[in-house]
Amino acid sequence: MTTADLEEFEDELETCFGTSCGFCERGCPVYQALKVRTLSMKGRNRTMLGLLKKRFEITPSVVQAAFECTLCGNCDRWCALKNTDHTRAFREYLLKHGVEPMKEHSSLLASVKNYGNPWFQPRSARNKWLKGQDIPKAAPGKQEVLFFAGCTSAVMKPLVPSLVASAKLLRRANVNFAVMGQDEPCCGSTLLRVGQTEAFEMLEKENFDKFEALGVKKIVTACPGCYTTLRKSAESLGSEIEIVHITQELAELVKGGDLKVKRSSEKMTYHDPCHLGRLGGILDEPREIVGAASDFIEMPNHGYESRCCGAGAGLQSAFPKLSRELASKKIEEAKSTGATTLVTCCPFCETQLRTVPGMRVVDLMELLLKATEDSNKP
Region binding other proteins by CB under 8 A among candidate stretches 49-57, 133-141, 177-185, 345-353? 49-57
Q: Pick between residue 10 and residue 183 the one whose CB is nearest to other proteins.
A: 10
Of 58-66, 234-242, 251-259, 315-323, the segment contacting other proteins by CB under 8 A is 58-66
Site for other proteins in 299-328 (CB under 8 A): 304
Q: Judged by CB under 8 A, which of 33, 50, 168, 284 binds other proteins?
A: 50
For residues 344 and 353, is the Cβ–Cβ distance under 8 A? yes
Q: Residue 278 in contact with residue 260, Cβ under 8 Å?
A: no
Determine, following the binding rule CB under 8 A, whether residue 287 of this chain makes contact with other proteins: no
Rounded to a whole number of angstroms, the minimum distance from the CB of residue 299 to other proteins is 14
Contact with other proteins (CB under 8 A) among 6, 16, 187, 339: 16
Q: Decide: is 97 part of the binding site for other proteins (CB under 8 A).
A: no
Q: Which of 29, 30, 43, 291 binds other proteins (CB under 8 A)?
A: 43
H helices present in 256-302, as ranges: 284-293
Neighbours of 22 (CB within 10 A): 15
- Cα–Cα dist 223/243, whole Å: 12
Stretch that binds other proteins, among 18-26, 99-107, 191-199, 358-366 (CB under 8 A): 18-26
Nearer to other proteins, 32 or 182 (CB): 32
Which residue lies nearer to other proteins by CB, 10 or 266? 10
- Report if residue 335 touches other proteins, rule: CB under 8 A: no
Shortest Å, Cβ 333 to other proteins: 13
Q: What's the alpha-carbon Rg for the chain, to the nearest Å?
A: 21
| 63 and 99 Cβ atoms separated by less than 8 Å | yes
- Tell me the C-alpha distance between 224 and 42, whole Å: 27
Residue 58 or 237 having the CB closest to other proteins = 58
- Rounded CA separation 377/296 (Å): 22
The crossing angle, in degrees rounded to 10, of helices 41-52 and 60-67 is 130
If the CB atoms of residues 39 and 154 are measured against other proteins, the closer one turns out to be: 39
Contacts of 153 (CB under 8 A, 6+ apart): 129, 159, 160, 162, 163, 222, 223, 347
116 or 280: CB nearest other proteins: 280
How far apart (Å, rounded) are the C-alpha atoms in residues 325 and 286? Answer: 26
* Among residues 1, 54, 80, 98, the one that binds other proteins under rule CB under 8 A: 80
CB of 73 to other proteins, least distance (A): 9
Distances in Å between the alpha carbon of 200 and those of 148, 196, 245, 252? 18, 6, 21, 33
Q: Which is nearer to other proteins, 76 or 249 (CB)?
A: 76
Cβ count near 330 (within 10 Å): 27
Using the minimum distance from each CB to other proteins, give the nearer residue, 34 or 109: 34
Please provide the distance, in angstroms rounded to a whole number, between the alpha carbons at the two ends of the chain.
55
* Among 8, 21, 124, 202, interactor with other proteins by CB under 8 A: 21
Is residue 54 at the binding interface for other proteins, with CB under 8 A as the rule? no
Round to whole Å and give the CA distance between 277 and 174. Answer: 26
Stretch in the footprint of other proteins (CB under 8 A) among 71-79, 95-103, 356-364, 369-377: 71-79
Query: Do 147 and 171 meet the contact criterion of CB atoms below 8 Å apart?
Result: no
What are the residues binding other proteins (CB under 8 A)?
Answer: 11, 14-23, 25-26, 35-38, 42-43, 46-47, 49-51, 53, 55-57, 59-62, 65, 76-81, 304
